[in-house]
């Protein structure tokens, strides 16, 4: 009788080990390193060579993606101000206040975005990206990731690497829709890459996964469109209405 219990214990232990042999992650905190190639993105612009030389080649910043099986949030992570000081000064930029929230059950996204020092809230469905799954495998942050190539807005190509072992279909900056979590992403047209630097599985603070809000402002589509139109009317933009409409058609993702 005693041995039987022992046997069951051993069997349980083995089955536990077996399950442990293939871990699937349903909740985690992932840190992304976002790198913008400054030299390349400023290449066509009217900036003196001297200024260009002052800039670092990459503008590096960090973001956190926190998710459970139901929802995820993506927002700025630890500071990297020392390294970014020259850029910050020159372009009077500060740490990003943008927040991306996704509810996987309802397939809804809520994005808080700062546009010209004003906060905007966009509520929408998950953006439509045409993905093609590739063969290449790359190890990112300890996970094997499979390459996929996506197309958004008909002409912007994305190169993504997603981990099969991370069950949530999320990714950085609201780019998602692949079978697993995106741990690497590149948008060649904008000279930007995001790569996960670490995946934390323990002590996830799930309470932060809530949709962002903005104080005192309504966030209906019409309201946002009017505010955007007003904002861009002040600039020398040729067609403020088109820009405002563009933002409402998922353009808030990458602009």
Partner 1 sequence: MNRNCQIIDPIKCILACLLVLSSCQSLNAQKAGIKGVVTDSSAYKNLQYAIIAILSKEDSTLVTTVRSSAKGTFSIDKLKAGRYFALITYPNMADFITDLNLGDTGIADIGKIVMTSRYHLLQEVIVQSGRAIRMKGDTLEFRADSFKVADGANVEELLRRLPGIEIGKDGKIRAQGKDVTKVLVDGDEFFSDDPTLATQYLQAKSVDKVQVFDKKSDQAVFSGVDDGVRNKTINIQLKENSKNGFFGKISPGTDGKSFYNNEGMFNLFRKKEKISAFGIVSNTGSTGLSSQDRSQYITNINNQIEDETGKLIGSNIENSERYYGSGLPSSVYSGAQYANKWLDNKRNINFNYRLNQLQTNGWQNNIYSQLLPDSSLRLGKSNNTSSAYSMQHLINGYYDLVLDSFSTMKISVQGQKQNRTGETESYSESKDSYGKLLNKSTQLNQTNGQNNYFNSSMMFQRRFRKKGRNIAVILLQSYTGGESEKRTEALSFYYNTVTQNAIEDSLNQKQLNKMHTSSVAARVTYTEPIGRDLYLTAEYSWRHTNSDKDREVLNKGVGGNYDKLIDTLSNSYTYNITTQLPGLTLRYNPKKLILSAGGKLGFTSFEQINRDIHISTKRQFINLFPQVQANYNFSPTKTLNFNYSGRTEQPSIEQLQPLRENSNPLSITIGNPDLQPSFSHRMSLNFNDFRMAAYSSLNINLSWSQTQNSIIGSQTIDQFNKSTTQYINRNGLPGFFGYIGYSRRLGKVSVNASTTIGFNVNINSYGYIRMLNGTEIKTRQHSISAGPRISFYKLKQISFSYNSNISFTKSNSDGGNIGNNYNWQHNHNANATVFLPGKIELASDITMNFQPANSSFSTSRQQIKWNASVTKKFLKNDKAQIRLAIFDILNQNTGYNRYASGGSISETASNYIPRYALLSLTWNFSRTL
Of the candidate residues 169, 172, 231, 243, the single one contacting partner 1 (CB under 8 A) = 169
Of the candidate residues 60, 86, 140, 179, the single one contacting partner 1 (CB under 8 A) = 179
Binding mask 113-152 for partner 1 (x = CB under 8 A): -----------------xxxx-xxx------x-x-x----
Of the candidate residues 127, 170, 174, 177, the single one contacting partner 1 (CB under 8 A) = 177
Counting every residue, how long is the chain? 255
| Closest separation in Å from C-beta 23 to partner 1 | 9
Q: Does 178 bind partner 1 (CB under 8 A)?
A: yes
Residue 241's closest CA among 226, 254, 221?
226
Q: Does 180 bind partner 1 (CB under 8 A)?
A: yes
Of the candidate residues 2, 22, 44, 92, the single one contacting partner 1 (CB under 8 A) = 22
Beta carbon nearer to partner 1, 78 or 138: 138
Q: How far apart are CA 121 and CA 224, in angstroms?
A: 8
| Closest separation in Å from C-beta 170 to partner 1 | 13
CB 37 within 8 A of CB 58: yes
Q: Which residues lie closer than 8 Å to 131 by C-beta, 6 or more apart?
A: 148, 149, 150, 160, 177, 178
What is the CB neighbour count within 10 angstroms for residue 27? 18
Q: Does 165 bind partner 1 (CB under 8 A)?
A: yes
Of the candidate residues 164, 204, 214, 240, the single one contacting partner 1 (CB under 8 A) = 164
Beta carbon nearer to partner 1, 64 or 165: 165
| Closest separation in Å from C-beta 68 to partner 1 | 15
How is residue 126 written in tokens? 């998950």
Q: How far apart are CA 90 and CA 127, in angstroms?
A: 33
CB 160 within 8 A of CB 173: no
Q: How far apart are CA 228 and CA 245, in angstroms?
A: 9
Q: How far apart are CA 15 and CA 78, in angstroms?
A: 39
Beta carbon nearer to partner 1, 10 or 116: 10
First to last CA, the chain: 68
Residues in the site for partner 1, rule: CB under 8 A?
22, 24, 130-133, 135-137, 144, 146, 148, 164-165, 167, 169, 177-180
């Amino acid at each position: 009788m005693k041995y039987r219990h022992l046997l069951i214990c051993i069997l349980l232990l083995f089955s536990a080990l077996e399950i442990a042999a293939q871990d699937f992650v349903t909740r985690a905190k992932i840190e992304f390193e976002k790198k913008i190639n400054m030299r390349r993105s400023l290449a066509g612009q009217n900036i003196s060579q001297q200024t260009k030389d002052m800039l670092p080649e990459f503008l590096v910043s960090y973001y956190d993606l926190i998710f459970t099986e139901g929802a995820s949030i993506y927002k700025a992570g630890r500071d990297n101000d020392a390294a970014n000081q020259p850029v910050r000064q020159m372009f009077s930029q500060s740490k990003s206040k943008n927040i991306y929230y996704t509810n996987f059950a309802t397939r809804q996204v809520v994005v808080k975005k700062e546009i010209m020092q004003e906060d905007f809230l966009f509520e929408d469905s998950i953006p439509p990206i045409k993905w093609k799954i590739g063969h290449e495998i790359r190890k990112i942050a300890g996970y094997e990731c499979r390459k996929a190539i996506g197309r958004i807005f008909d002409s912007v190509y994305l190169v993504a690497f997603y981990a099969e072992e991370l069950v949530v279909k999320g990714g950085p900056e609201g780019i998602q829709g692949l079978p697993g979590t995106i741990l690497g992403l590149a948008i060649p047209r904008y000279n930007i890459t995001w790569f996960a630097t670490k995946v934390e599985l323990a002590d996830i603070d799930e309470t932060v996964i809530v949709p962002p809000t903005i104080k005192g402002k309504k966030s209906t589509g019409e309201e946002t469109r009017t505010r955007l139109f007003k904002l861009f009317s002040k600039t020398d933009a040729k067609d403020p209405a088109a820009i405002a409409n563009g933002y409402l058609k998922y353009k808030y993702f990458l602009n």
